[in-house]
Amino acid sequence: MPDDSQAGNFIREIVATDLKTGKHGGRVVTRFPPEPNGYLHIGHAKSICLNFGIAQEFGGSTNLRFDDTNPSKENLEYVQAIQDDVRWLGFDWENRMFYASDYFERLYLSAVHLTSKGKAYVDSLSADDIRRYRGTLTEPGKDSPYRTRSVEENIDLFARMRAGEFPDGTHVLRAKIDMASPNVNMRDPTLYRIRHAAHHRTGDAWCIYPTYDFAHPLSDAIEGITHSLCTLEFEDHRPLYDWVLKESDAQCHPQQIEFARLNLSHTVMSKRKLLDLVEKKLVAGWDDPRLPTLQGLRRRGYTPEAIRAFCEHIGVAKRDGVVEMALLEHFIREDLNRRAPRVMAVLRPLRVVIDNYPEGAEEDLEAINNPEDPNAGTRKLPFSRTLYIEHEDFREVPPKKFFRLTPGQEVRLRYAYIIQCVSIVKDDRTGEVLEVHCTYDPETRSGGPQAGRKVKGTLHWVSAAHALEAEVRLYEHLFLKADAGDVGEGLDYTANLNPNSFERLTGCQVERTLAAAAPLSRYQFERQGYFCLDPDTSDQKLVFNRTVALRDSWAKIEKTQQER
RNA sequence: UGGGGGAUCGUCUAGUGGUAGGACAUCAGCCUUUGGAGCUGAUUACCGUGGUUCGAAUCCACGUCCCCCAGCCA
């Protein structure tokens, strides 16, 4: 059986080759290095699956490392949420959780070492001047007047920076590389900056903080990382990554490998935009079920298994692209189809009275919990004279190919009887259908003598007297266009927000077994989609989120009929 | 116009000189007590132009287009 999940990707190939040649002493150690300045999203899931997956595959290990070198953006809330999310996704860093801030002292010593070698210097230009001196993409930069300070002066100044003698922005430590380099990242990049800010872990022990370019390669080396996987935009930082390791006499030299980050259609993935949506209250929070955050997907009802399968399937390459949301939806449907118990739930109830069913009578009918899983068993569904069916399952004047309830057309009530519409009760003023009267054929009870009779449609239903009321929240794509950033002149991505991405349905009628539903447990509402119990559920109120609708071929038929 | 990357079905991805394959999506059909699921089939791709070769997505040359970089963010 050809299985594309077994297909090699270029990173696996590199690692396999390195293992063969003994490049890193036969070890494979990767790391997942989030900055705790936001919540993890499905793009991070790709990186997590890649890093942990590669290590698992080759018998190596993976560290979780918080890249916490910028105290002004980072906090503990994020540190905790990230751990929670990685664990939820199904990965275990065992005892290997680290922080770049754990290494601040060693990083400082490395900086002193570089300085004493004449490979770093304290610059006292303003940030603006540093930018001016850097040149442009097409013109070389020029040396800072402070570039020629003596080693002694640099050492002294850097020590005093650490000691807190200078306000923010007055000095930085820079690598001394080449102001004329065609790679602007090599034009004496900043290694340390002064920030009189409390750090979420080190408090006020430090007022100078290393930059990513300095801290990252050294943190990797300290941890003995063999393969440092990152996204494409760091590609032209690689010469700097290598420079830092070489000049710092690092004990090992991890290999940085870049891959394309995940983009998903109909959503946004940048931390900035996600934060923006949350802060402007355009969504309900980081766990809003419309967001591609792991917390949002979890609340929406996504399973870790589905997300992992998705990440495995999309592969890893260097060309950037946009994965269709439909692919993600495919994987959650596939997973939930196998495991979600089926239940009856009527979202927009229409009252149905079975005129020839004895008043006051009721009976229990047997229903299969999951046709895909024989072990899931069966349950009893109460049936009575007054039922609810889906409002859209009845049409007084049916369009072509409408196989549901309509005057004169028999339909089956799932696991129950075949019924037929005999009359309609309408609102005199609005003409709205309020109630449908039907007759049933007692011979057609499930398992009965006439049960096999062919009818075009089968409807889900609940018994009015036995059903529970629930709130159901429906979600659509957060953005109208596949590319959220595709907006007109002068507009930003929020112009593409889908005004109908959230719809709250109240007065839904669900079968009573749902009273026992556990938080975040997932169900298939027959003929509707997959739903999970929202944490907003209370003793008073059941609340469900629609994870994803079932594929709906009738909707397609109807749509093409309307287009004609 | 400097540097670094990248171009294969609509989308994502295999391919490493020898039949361009898979998944999603789309469209048909079968089946069905979920218009679900499942099954079958179909459509659709090597950025362009030259060259090397018996043979090129793959090697070479010249183009074209797209992405990233001028934070004391990561």
Give the range among A65-69, A223-227, A490-494 with minimum mean pLDDT.
Answer: A490-494
Q: What is the pLDDT of residue A281?
A: 97
Q: So what's the ipTM on this one?
A: 0.97
Residue A456: which nucleotide is closest by CA–C1'? B35
Average pLDDT of the segment spanning A334-352 = 98
Distance CA A105, CA A343 (A): 58
Average pLDDT of the segment spanning A369-390 = 97
Task: Work out the percent of chain A whose per-residue pLDDT is above 70.
Answer: 99
A445 catalytically annotated: no
A541 catalytically annotated: no
Distance CA A346, CA A460 (A): 7
Residue A168: which nucleotide is closest by CA–C1'? B72
Q: What is the pLDDT of residue A564?
A: 66
Distance CA A218, CA A106 (A): 9
A520 Rama sector, left if φ>0, alpha if ψ -120 to 50, beta otherwise:
left
The DSSP H or E segment spanning A98 is: strand A97-99
Residue A395 is encoded by which pair of tokens? 């049409």
> Which residue blocks in A151-235 are alpha helix, DSSP H?
151-163, 212-222
Indicate if the pLDDT at residue A377 is higher than 90: yes
Q: Round to a whole number and report the distance in Å from the CA of A212 to the C1' of B73.
A: 8
Residue A324: which nucleotide is closest by CA–C1'? B11
Residue A355 is encoded by which pair of tokens? 């005129």
Return the CATH number of A10-259, one of 3.40.50.620, 1.10.10.10, 3.30.230.10, 3.30.300.30: 3.40.50.620
Phi, psi of A289 (to 5 degrees): -60, -10
Distance CA A297, CA A547 (A): 8
Catalytic member of A35, A247, A305, A476? A35
Taking C1' of B38 and every protein CA, the nearest residue is A372
Q: Round to a whole number and report the distance in Å from the CA of A264 to the C1' of B6.
A: 19
Residue A331: which nucleotide is closest by CA–C1'? B24
A290 catalytically annotated: no
Distance CA A424, CA A406 (A): 10
Q: Round to a whole number and report the distance in Å from the CA of A260 to the C1' of B13.
A: 13
Say if domain A341-467 classifies as CATH 3.40.50.10110.
no
A54-89 tens-digit pLDDT:
999 999 999 999 999 999 999 999 999 999 999 999
Q: Which nucleotides of B are covered by protein (CB under 7 A)?
A: 1-8, 10-16, 21-27, 33-38, 67-74
Contacts of residue A431, defined as CB under 8 A and 6 or more positions apart, other chains included, come to none
Break chain A into its structural domains and give their ranges.
10-259, 341-467
Is the CB of residue A420 less than 8 Å from the CB of residue A408? Answer: yes
